[in-house]
Chain A
Amino acid sequence: MTDTDEPVLVCKDLCISYYTRAGEIPAVVDFSLTVRPGETIGIVGESGCGKSTVAMAIMQHMGANGGIKSGSITFKGRDLTRLNEEELRSIRGSEISMIYQEPFASLNPSLKISTQLMEVPLAHENISKAEARERSVQILRDVKIADPERVMNSYPHQLSGGQQQRAVIAMGLLSKPSLLLLDEPTTALDVTVEAGIVNLIADISEKFNTSQIYISHNLGLILETCDRVFVMYSGEIVEEGTIKSLFNSPRHPYTHGLFSCIPLITTDKNAAPLKPIRGQLPLPFERPLGCYFGPRCDHFLQGVCDQAHFQMKTVGGEPDHRVRCLRYEEIDYKQVVSNTETKVSPEIGKRVLDVDGMKKYYEVKDSSLAALISGKSVRYVKANEKLNFTAHESETVAIVGESGCGKSTFAKVLMGLETGTGGEIRHNGKEISHIKVRDRSTEQIRSLQMVFQNPFDTLNPSHSIGGQISRVIRQFGVETDKKKVFDLVMTLLDTVKLPRDFYFRKPRQLSGGQKQRIGIARAFAGNPSIVIADEPVSALDVSVAAAVTELLMDIQREHKTTLLFISHDLSVVRYLSDRIVVMYLGHILERGTTAEVFAPPYHPYTEALLSAVPIADPDIIKRRIVLKGDLPSAMNPPKGCPFCTRCHRRIGDICDLELPSEQLVKDRHVIKCHIPVDVLSRIEPVIRKPGESDLNHA
């Protein structure tokens, strides 16, 4: 890879617009990029910044209302914007391929994988069917699919998410393209599955000599896969550079802001609170004059930054590092960093929640003929199996796990939407797992509230914000007088830092982050003692997520609430929780304080989870553990240890046959594994910073 190589792709001064009823929407305003052979380029940005538009422009597939206004896209010397459909067709799929965000949606549900793979070489090369088939099987083997013949003969729905994405990647690589576009290829996957795919992607360029453009919102993933990175904001590139120079010294205030929004696995909420970027991404037709980031920038200088639109500048000494900021040389981030406030950790109070052997089984009717004949027509899905843990006042307990681990089921039982099958959950000493929400007292309902995951779903689109919050207040009997209810809604809006006239707004007039704030206001309206937050920020952009997370923490501190934080993201968990419960297929595999869980002895699953977390810090050294296979279905779990099918530290048949018992490490740190604690203790830490023996003990 030298500079003399002819670049694979050159985008020059690209402007892309969508034309709608409301008028022209300039989605991308100024985009230039060069991809050299064998290089992996990352494009990072929040939703709405135009990164997917760029990918579609490169594929020349913009839909009926999109168009390239100006600029050129040169692929191996040919300008893609000037090719006709037939010429484009010969390039698509053979020289440029694309991998998509949702593997299941991008595979045709009614065609076998074999058909979908074989048609790629058949369409582009003059080869026989047998040859195409042979090549397809080989490529499936190359993307590390264990049984390619079976996968070939399967329909997409018969494969797991990870296998589907591997099949899509195989499809993209089949004709050995020179350029591979990956649009958030792992966003829809679980973290441990994601780790495998990321590993595969990182190897592609070497193995197939393919250049890649990797689009993601996750800086950590970019760091692990790319050579150079482009940061986009509101339709333009604001900073570009090699991974090393950009991650070590980000120059643009937006890039810098992004890094301050991500909870790093090395920090926590009290030592280094997140610093959200204020405001919101401007809508395409509301972009300000001058720097688009100006209104949100701490270093904005009137008369300088709000004049004309300006060009990228090369950072001195770093030929590949360019930035779109007039003041980048003047800003001293070190200065700003030293002003970091720290917050005081709240006093942990009395025990409020006791989960004692709680079980939740679902009955599933098996209506297949075989089941009917054998008489086993009812099966049980063990969504929660003997959960034990406690939570105290003002404490944040994180429940961590991937899909199907039973964390949401636990939330349902706790909230009274379902009743437990066995064991107990005691809230302030009173058993609640067998009482449906309707049968609970107003007092109990009020003191146990929830913040939901999906911002677009959490508020009823038909009713005004004010009406919805007022209803909660009246329902909980906090206030009944009209005037007082109204005043209380105003106070709550102030608490979640939203303008008071939101009272009259409908949910569709709010952004995702604002809706989530209303969701928080609603949960805290009755001053609850426990709030359970189910992935409250996972659907939000990083800069918004940081603000919502901080808000949640502040309100919690103030109200001395116990927060049960459900998440799959270990960096967020590490950042905000006091204690962690790690779940897998209905079982708690490890629980303890944050420090305990993040340091050896680990449960092998915790170890793998830690290794799978993408970390946006180039200084950190991570031990890579890639689990084999996919998550087993909760319908059909392994017999012995739930983790035995994927465990990298499996010790023998005992793992397959016997459910391990809980081993007490010390105090309240418990690991459910057959491997003795002292063996687990000798495992070296997964994450370390050079120069530190073990950051987790720091």
Chain B
Amino acid sequence: MTIQSMSKMPSVGFAAGMWRVIKSIALLRESWVGMIGAFLVLFWILVAVFAPLITQFDPNASIQPYARPGTLSASGSIFWLGTDHLGRDILSRIVWGSRTVLFYAPLATLSAYTVGILMGLMAGYRGGLVDDILSRISDIILSFPVLVLYIIVIATIGASGFNIVIAITFASSPGIMRIVRGLVLDLRNRDYVAAALTRGESDWRIMLYEILPNARGPLIVDACLRLGYVIITIGVLGFLGLGLPPPDPDWGGMVNETRQMAIVFPYMTLFPCISISSLILGFNLLADGLREISLRD
């Protein structure tokens, strides 16, 4: 490699970055568990993205109550998964419901991570009083049974998508903080951090540039697991009637609305349950695959 070609560094760096992403996806191929997970997740992402193209009915429109799966509708389209007691097409509701889940779950996870990582970095790197205060706060929040916490928070601030994001951030960031803190406590004793200190780098640069990138492995795996768990939470809140206000489709809420009729019309509850389980399974399998790969090198 000549000096001339080397001086075009940024583009080389970008290409190298892209190459790394491609390589990590290719690595996943070696773990069949991870592949299945990636496939499931990708499937639901595509469903959510192409929701208008897939569905033939308005998810909130009352068309024909209690239609069995496969019934032909008046408009000539088929209710592939039947309709619910209010006559709404279940397939359409599931497909549009995937948008709700895949919008709020990543948003809530991202928000929890932003708060958790910042807290963890501060607590782990600064130590001392900052660490004591942050750790005590998170201990207290973590001592609540999670769902009790959600119920109280939602009961007081009301049920809405935004409030769910806030509640999840509040309840999960302490857990993320603990993980980050643990990683930082280990990483900050590395010689490269000492080297950065001895050349007078700022605290933020050390936290964000020297420490955080090296914690990414366990954090990515944890994020996948947590995403699955957040989806469960959103589903459970919907199921308990504390989720998104009706009529917009929400998988947990669909189960709640129709479970009384499950003995006669089991398909009304089964399909949303299968959908949510498969999406969570996707994230959990993906996490397992990623961990397996990260342990390998």
Contact = CB atoms under 8 A, between A and B. Distances in A.
- So, do A and B actually touch in the complex, CB under 8 Å? yes
B200 A459 contact: no
A187 interface: no
Interface residues of A, number: 38
B214 A437 contact: no
A498 interface: no
B174 to A, nearest CB: 25
A445 B198 contact: yes
A457 B190 contact: yes
A458 B190 CA distance: 7
A9 interface: no
B195 A417 contact: no
Contact of B198 (A437, A454, A482): A437
A513 to B, nearest CB: 16
A445 B199 contact: yes
B214 A449 contact: no
Contacts of B195: 450, 452, 458, 519, 522
Given A457-B191, A460-B214, A463-B213, A500 B200 contact: no
B162 interface: no
Contacts of A453: 191
B198 A462 contact: no
B6 interface: yes
A500 B5 CA distance: 12
Interface string B195-225: 1111111000000011001101000000000
A460 B6 contact: no
B200 A440 contact: yes
A475 B210 contact: no
Contacts of A449: 198-199
A476 interface: yes
Contact of B214 (A442, A462, A504): A462
Nearest to A468: B192
Contacts of A476: 199
A58 to B, nearest CB: 29
Contacts of A445: 198-200
B197 A501 contact: no
B7 interface: yes
A452 B214 contact: no
Interface string A321-340: 00000000000000000000
Interface in B200-259: 200-201, 209-210, 213-214, 216
B198 A417 contact: yes
Contacts of A174: none
A486 interface: yes
B200 A461 contact: no
A452 B1 contact: no
Contacts of A415: 194, 197-198
Nearest to A475: B199
Contact of B194 (A452, A472, A486): A452
Nearest to B193: A460
Given A450-B195, A457-B191, A460-B192, A504 B12 contact: yes
B12 A452 contact: no
Interface of A: 21, 415-417, 437-438, 440, 442, 445, 448-450, 452-454, 457-464, 466, 472, 475-476, 482-483, 486-487, 490, 500-501, 503-504, 519, 522
Given A460-B196, A460-B210, A476-B199, 13 more contacts: A417-B198, A437-B198, A442-B200, A450-B194, A458-B192, A458-B195, A466-B9, A486-B9, A500-B6, A501-B1, A503-B6, A504-B6, A522-B195
26 contacts: A21-B296, A415-B197, A417-B194, A437-B198, A440-B200, A442-B200, A445-B198, A445-B200, A448-B198, A452-B195, A453-B191, A457-B192, A460-B192, A460-B213, A462-B213, A462-B214, A462-B216, A463-B209, A464-B13, A475-B199, A475-B200, A483-B7, A501-B6, A503-B6, A504-B12, A504-B16
Interface of B: 1, 3, 6-7, 9, 12-13, 16, 30, 190-192, 194-201, 209-210, 213-214, 216, 296
